[in-house]
Structure 1
Amino acid sequence: MSFNNILVDKNDALAQITINRPKKLNALNKETITELSTAFTDLENDEVVRVIILTGSGEKAFVAGADISEFANFSVEEGGVLARKGQEMLFDLVENLSKPVIAAVNGFALGGGLELAMSCHFRIASDNAKMGLPEVSLGVIPGYGGTQRLSQLVGKGKAMELVMTAGMIPADEALSLGLVNHVTTQEELVPLANKLASKIMRNSSVAISGAIKAINANYKEGVNGYDVEIEEFGNCFGTEDFKEGTTAFLEKRKPNFPNR
């Protein structure tokens, strides 16, 4: 499928989505959100793809925010619909994808850009990256899950500070807070993402899917994460991957997972 604002590249089991609006610092508009939703859904249903990397074009920005001109004149009702539809269409979709999504943050990740990065399963950043949720400086709050996911990742107090001050933090501080897992140079960012993806792909994709469900369950209201873990653990025993993994271990060889 052809897109206007994103690029999708597939190399066997690894896919990369690049948000490609460099003149707008890759800002999210309605069309880009729709295209991203379509791309992630397509890759989720692709039986070959096992890991997805998400990044931005150029060296300045991952995603510098949302396209404010699209909603500057919205009513209360329209604002609520915007947030709900966006969360359901893209941000919740990415978080609950059964395939690991690595955000390679290659510059500014602000507002909706940081929210998108936080919806990915984990994040790595270039050393020039800067992150923040500046929405209160515009008289609004983060609406694509930012208030929830930031506090989950860095704790309530720090999330309160970052949101209230509308400030940006550099990559090294994001690393110390646990907001990103690794920091590297701009040149080594995507190669590092590829290296991490390669390590992931050595393991059972079926088991990884179950692990994503179990970990996410801990952050869902009214859901007992331990029960989800028990269920997913039990489900593994009915998979071909479990048979191959345990057999390979007992035979002292590397497993060749069928990913079923």
Structure 2
Amino acid sequence: MPAIDNGNISFEKSTNGVATISFYHPAQNSLPASLLNELTQNIIQTGEDKEVRVIVLKSGGERTFCAGASFDELVQIKDKEAGALFFSGFAKVINACRKSPKIVIVRVQGKAVGGGVGLAAAADYCLATQFASIKLSELAIGIGPFVISPAVTRKIGLPAFSQLTIRASDFQTAEWACDKGLYNEVYEDITELDAALDELTQKLASYHPDALTGLKQILWEGTEDWDELLTQRAAISGELVLSAFTQQALQGFLSGNR
């Protein structure tokens, strides 16, 4: 089993103003607190870079974009404070994307589960492959997608969010996610995805930076209370993760049922 701290964050900035932030973890690109914090800082710092016009958020590997929270770390949480602190990691990443003055493009090459769906929803624009099916499995482990729900609902609406949440054991296809508004474009494979991503970011980087910043503000109108809201949601999840139900479910997933 991969160690919790085996993941990494990488950063690359092109000469034309496109910055790419990539995360990787051998456990299906799941995100422990350390990577969530590092990812947040990278997004904030890149947003402050005057040479950057567009930010691309992606993950390593081919099969899974992000499996969500690190279950290995979740089973180690022993009190409400630690639980709230862990789930606030996803809140901080979402808010960093929301508050960044730069357009954030998320590249989803494979499956997205739980918090991974939240990352896709934090995008200003999201490109995916046909293999990028999605699932919100939180109810199945007794916690609920409370932190990411504002971001996901903002993109796909309450009816689709209800389906995604209640059908906690079922994957929905990339086409479904595109039809509902989570993905903006879906491609046959990674080669086509990356070609489209490169073309889009090149065009965006050539536009007036002030116009892009103004657009960004319009895209996120009505979310000004999310710093407080997502922190409150993190506390709910942080308390639920301590329950015997959730701890038993997590152990089941770690034993091979994820």
Q: Normalised by the shorter chain, which TM-score bucket?
A: 0.7 to 0.9
CA distance in 2, matches of 1:78, 1:6: 23
Count the aligned residue pairs: 217
CA distance in 1, matches of 2:102, 2:11: 16
CA distance in 2, matches of 1:8, 1:178: 28
Identity of aligned residues (%): 26
Match of 1:248 in 2: none
* Higher RCO (Cα < 8 Å, 6 or more apart): 2
Displacement of 1:160 in angstroms is 0.9
Query: Alpha carbon RMSD of aligned pairs, Å?
Result: 2.0
Displacement of 1:139 in angstroms is 0.5
8 A Cα contact 1:52 1:102, kept in partner: yes
Give the number of the structure whose alpha-carbon radius of gyration is greater: 1
CA distance in 1, matches of 2:161, 2:7: 34
Match of 1:139 in 2: 142
Matches within 5 A, 1:44-193: 44-72=47-75, 73-88=77-92, 90-144=93-147, 146-166=148-168, 167-184=170-187, 185-193=189-197
Q: Which has the larger displacement, 78-87 or 121-130?
A: 78-87
Match of 1:250 in 2: none
Which amino acid is 2:46 matched to? Answer: L
Which amino acid is 2:179 matched to? Answer: S
Match of 2:11 among 8, 11, 14: 8
CA distance in 2, matches of 1:86, 1:150: 13
Displacement of 1:74 in angstroms is 3.7
Displacement of 1:183 in angstroms is 0.5
Moved over 2 A (4+): 71-86, 218-222
Specify the SS of the correspondent of 1:16: strand
Displacement of 1:208 in angstroms is 1.3
Which amino acid is 2:10 matched to? Answer: L
Match of 2:204 in 1: 200
Q: Which runs of 5+ in 1 are unaligned?
A: 223-260
Specify the SS of the correspondent of 2:12: strand
CA distance in 2, matches of 1:163, 1:11: 38
Which amino acid is 2:192 matched to? Answer: E
CA distance in 2, matches of 1:102, 1:74: 36
Match of 1:31 in 2: 34
Scaled by the length of structure 2, what TM-score is found?
0.78
Displacement of 1:221 in angstroms is 5.6
Scaled by the length of structure 1, what TM-score is found?
0.77
